[in-house]
Amino acid sequence: MRVVFVHGACVRDGSWWWHRAAELLARRGVASEAPALPSCGETGEPPDAGGPGLAEDVAAVRDVLTASHDPAVVVAHSYGGIVTAEAATGVEAVRHLLLVCSYLPEVGESLSSFAGGEPAPYLDIDPDGGTFSVREDALAETFLHDCDPEIQRAASARTARQSLAVLEQPVRSAAWQSVPSTYLVCARDRGTPAEAQRQFAGRARSVVELDAGHHPFLSRPAAVRDLILGL
């Protein structure tokens, strides 16, 4: 088995965000990787209102998923659920989806479908430059409050500006409708409230709750490892 981790919005260096859980899995003989998302500027093209967008992110993840026939568990975090919905569709190697405080879209839904009309207060939106990011002063308090200070500092250096193009682009397929899926509700998440997560979780086949914030693979990596191994 292998694990493919699809990171959330407004960050770069997905392997770092995933590294604590990855190290624990590696000790059990489970390899993992984290594809770079073009919309976050990880592949060299500076993001703006024109992209790169969801289609490029989907293609990047799908390339990784189809590069091997080894059975795969896809761990989709937050915005990563939007990408995975389309990227994992029809990929025979994908045996399970683990959705971590993730958006879980129906066909035709986009990230903006869940925005509630007003930008979240923790976002820094640059309409002229066509990008958005997480406000530096809100990062730790909103997303990393249950992580130690060293992790918080390292995370702040790995935020990214992301193309606004991803907000309105709808998914064209929904892998969770045909692939076994587990939704991990993070009960202490201040970014995506637990009640919103539970609504998404109703679309998954099974649900697990964890007393953790938005990044349980950083704050509770052993619990995430055990959940994955249990799949």
* Total residue count of the chain as it appears in this document: 231
* Burial grade of 228 (CB within 10 A; 0-12, 13-18, 19 or more): buried
CA 106 – CA 84 distance, rounded (Å): 12
Neighbours of 30 (CB within 10 A): 17
Spell out the domain ranges in the chain: 2-230
Asked whether the beta carbons of 133 and 164 are under 8 A apart, the reply is no
Supply the DSSP string of 58-85, one letter for each residue.
HHHHHHHHTT--S-EEEEEETTHHHHHH
CA 222 – CA 106 distance, rounded (Å): 31
Q: What type of residue is 179? A: V
Give the tens place of pLDDT for each residue, 53-101: 999 999 999 999 999 999 999 999 999 999 999 999 999 999 999 999 9
Q: Give the rounded distance of the alpha carbon of 97 from its chain centre.
A: 12
pLDDT of residue 162: 98
Q: Which fold is adopted by the domain 2-230?
A: Rossmann fold (3.40.50)
Would you say residue 117 has pLDDT above 90? Answer: no
CA 104 – CA 134 distance, rounded (Å): 21
Give me the mean pLDDT over the 41-45 stretch: 96
Name the token pair of 136. Answer: 């530096």
Neighbours of 154 (CB within 10 A): 16
When pLDDT is cut at 50, 70 and 90, the band that residue 115 belongs to is confident
Would you say residue 26 has pLDDT above 80? Answer: yes
pLDDT of residue 119: 83
Asked whether the beta carbons of 194 and 164 are under 8 A apart, the reply is no
pLDDT of residue 118: 78
Residue with tokens 């993992």, as numbered in its chain: 32
